[in-house]
Amino acid sequence: MNIGILSKRKTMMAKKLKDCLQNKGYTVSIYTLENLIINETLLNNDLFILKSKSLIFLYAGFFLEANNIPVIPKPQLSFLQKNRIQSHFLMKRIGLITPDIFLGTADTFKNQLDLKDFPFILKPIMGSGSKGIRIIRSYKDLTSENNSILYLERYIEGIHYNVYFIDNEICTLIKPPLSDEHVDMKKIETPDDIRDVIKKWKDYFNGDLLFGHLDIVREEASNKLYVVDPGSFPEFTNWKCKISPVESICNLIINKYEKLHKNQNNI
């Protein structure tokens, strides 16, 4: 079987996946911006792994699905987690608690936001993780080019968690606020209410969400859990649980492909 990996880089998790799958006897190619052309040549592969949520790779995923090539995770699932507006309202629909959000221009916010509402978190509308995120403590921090639309989120004071999940295995870590997944984190036993949040999130996708992570904050004042960011394919840099993340992810992807292929043949 020929497998393609859509990734921003050929190193880190993408390389680990490639090595793992090649050791299982598969032919694997990594497609980055340097060698990706969205055309019929991609159809020489039997399966694609969507490692990156950058738009060019999402577009490739949609093209492949339109040509009946399985893509794991599904492009639409990854897009929902990349677009913060869509993921915010999706999580609310599922029944998860999320911080209040505000959309508008810098000038509008300066005219209408109340001083008592600060601080906020400024996030890119399209993105995930900590890239492009900064804290907004006053009107002076609100700037935008060409009066573009800004996405603000109410800052939640409390304990920040990075919660990985691979199939039914959950790895919960305490992390510094606003940090990415690569900083050093302390592993803790997963509390029952965090397990409930992960179950709600996974159940919504009806078996299509094989792995991922959620950034969660336990509010100091109320003890409530706020989901502040989802991630469809983290690097699992801080995975500190028993199973091997790369081996487990490869097995889950291959098993999912085999089920899809079997169902397709039975139609």
Range among 107-111, 125-129, 233-237 rated most confident? 233-237
Residue 172: CB atoms within 10 Å = 23
Peptide bond into 73 cis (omega under 30): yes
Helices (H), 67-166: 75-82, 84-94, 106-112
Q: Which domains does the chain have, with CATH numbers?
A: 2-72 (3.40.50.20), 82-97+157-231 (3.30.470.20), 101-154 (no CATH)
Q: What is the pLDDT of residues 85-111, one digit of tens each?
A: 999 999 999 999 999 999 998 888 888
155-181: average pLDDT: 95
Nearest CA to 144 out of 108, 106, 110, 113 is that of 106
Tell me the pTM.
0.92
Average pLDDT over every residue of 122-131? 80
Q: What is the average per-residue pLDDT within 122-138?
A: 83
DSSP character string of 3-26:
EEEE-S-SSHHHHHHHHHHHHTT-
Which uninterrupted H or E stretch holds 71? strand 71-72
Burial class (CB in 10 A: 0-12, 13-18, 19+), 254: middle
> 7-48 pLDDT, tens per residue?
999 999 999 999 999 999 999 999 999 999 999 999 999 999
The answer to whether 84 and 151 are in contact (CB under 8 A) is yes
